Amino acid sequence: MKVRFTKMHGNGNDFILIDEFSGIVVEEEKKSEFVNAVCNRYFGVGADGALFVQKSEVADARFRYFNADGSEAEMCGNGIRCFSRYVVEEGYAESPLRVETLAGILELEVSQDKDSWWVRVDMGEPKFGRDEIPAEEDVWGKVFEVEDRKFEVYAVNTGVPHAVIFVDDLDFDIIPYARRIRYHELFPEGINVNFAEVIDGSRIRIRTYERGVEDETLSCGTGSCAVAVVANRLGIAEKSVEIITKGGKLKIDVADRVFMTGGASRVADGHINTGELRYDLP
């Protein structure tokens, strides 16, 4: 069977998008294994995750996001920008639009200039409660000893749970440290891990290890929001912050709610030969 797909990315955080607005293309019980297979960078198309565009009874469209390992997540900041550009570009809705997600209904504005598409997302209110993250205890400035280093960890949910750690220098291998925190017993559902270096009050560099991808990604929208929120709450950054990821820059505005503005690129449209995918991969 051939399945039509679109390849998109937000600052290098890349996705396979499947259009199910007119009807289900990948059966519900097969979505996880399909995503795991198609996101494989050697035997599939390759991506950090997959987006499914569906009709909604309560908004303009329904957003479904699956990590590369096949697990479904509540939200993805870079993913929802790509999703929203696609929905507007295909004529399913006009900007501003409302999108149904597992994290609630979000409002977005999509615009285009001569060079790029831009999406501003109302990411909602950040959540700090241990039950909202979730965590076995409050994690706000809690010191984690990981191998040869100590880190002060701040946990927040900006659509999905994130741990934020401020460091003086980002030029080190974050993977072994991030994995230990991601799988720490304090986080029963796991957590995404962000290391951040404050350049000044309006600019922060970050690197993110994403749960479900189980690796560092070039950019993470919800992670960028989490870093901006925590930095602002600690008084080390302003309310409007430029977050610099490996894949590009995002503008985050922090108030009672968090707003993210960034690009969305559509790089390919084609067909997947599902019979050629490898479904026996870990």
Annotated binding site for substrate: 13, 67, 77-78, 192, 210-211, 221-222
Q: How far apart are the first and last CA of the chain?
A: 23
Q: Using omega within 30 degrees of 0 as the cis cutoff, is the peptide bond preceding 161 cis? A: no
Binding site membership: which residues?
A: 13, 67, 77-78, 192, 210-211, 221-222
Q: Assign 3-class secondary structure to the chain.
A: CEEEEEEEEECCEEEEEEECCCCCCCCHHHHHHHHHHHCCCCCCCCCCEEEEEECCCCCCEEEEEEECCCCEECCCHHHHHHHHHHHHHCCCCCCCEEEEECCEEEEEEEEECCCCEEEEEEEECCECCCCCCCCCCCCEEEEEEECCEEEEEEEEECCCEEEEEECCCCCCCCHHHHHHHHCCCCCCCCCEEEEEEEEECCEEEEEEEECCCCEEECCCHHHHHHHHHHHHHHCCCCCEEEEEECCEEEEEEECCCEEEEEECEEEEEEEEEHHHCCCCCC
Residue 268, both tokens: 């390919």
Residue 226 region, left (φ>0) first, then alpha (ψ -120 to 50), else beta?
A: alpha
- Known catalytic residues are 76, 220
